[in-house]
Amino acid sequence: MSQQDTSKSHQQQTAANSRKIFDGQRGLVLLRLFFLACRVLPRSILTKLALRIFLTPGRKPIGAREAALRDSAQREVMVCRGREVTTYKWGNSSRRVLLCHAWGGRGTTLGEFVPPLLAHGYSVIAFDAPAHGASPGKISDMVEYVSTISMLRDRYGSFDAAIGHSFGAGNLLWAHRDYGLRAKKIVLIGCFVHGIWIIEAFGDALRLPKHIVRGMRDLLEKKYPGELVWERLSMPDMLKSVSAPVLVVHDRDDKVIPFAHALQLHDSSHGPSEVFATSGLGHRRLLGDRDVVKKVVEFIECSALDPVTEGGIA
CATH code of the domain covering residue 276: 3.40.50.1820
Express each pLDDT in 31-61 by its tens digit: 777 777 677 778 899 999 999 999 999 888 8
Identify the residue with better confidence: 235 or 26: 235
SS3 at position 245:
coil
> Is residue 184 pLDDT above 80, yes or no?
yes
Mean of the per-residue pLDDT values of the chain: 88
Q: With respect to residue 63, please indicate whether it lies within any of the assigned structural domains.
A: no
Residue 133 and residue 280 share a domain? yes
Range of the domain at 214: 3-56+198-223
Q: How many CA atoms lie within 13 A of 47 on its CB side?
A: 14
Q: With respect to residue 50, please indicate whether it lies within any of the assigned structural domains.
A: yes
Residue 245 and residue 297 share a domain? yes
**Confidence at 200, pLDDT banded by 50, 70, 90:** very high
- Distance of alpha carbon 110 from alpha carbon 112, whole angstroms: 6
pLDDT at position 147 is 98
In 3D, which of 303, 86, 68, 279 has the Cα closest to residue 184?
Answer: 303
- Distance of alpha carbon 147 from alpha carbon 175, whole angstroms: 8
Express each pLDDT in 238-295 by its tens digit: 999 889 999 999 999 999 999 999 999 999 988 899 999 999 999 999 999 999 999 9
Residue 219 and residue 169 share a domain? no
SS3 at position 113:
helix
Count the domains in the chain.
Answer: 2
Residue 12 and residue 151 share a domain? no
**Contacts (Cβ under 8 Å, ≥6 apart) of 106:** 62, 66, 128, 132, 133, 134
Express each pLDDT in 58-87 by its tens digit: 888 899 999 999 999 999 999 999 999 999
Residue 236 and residue 290 share a domain? yes
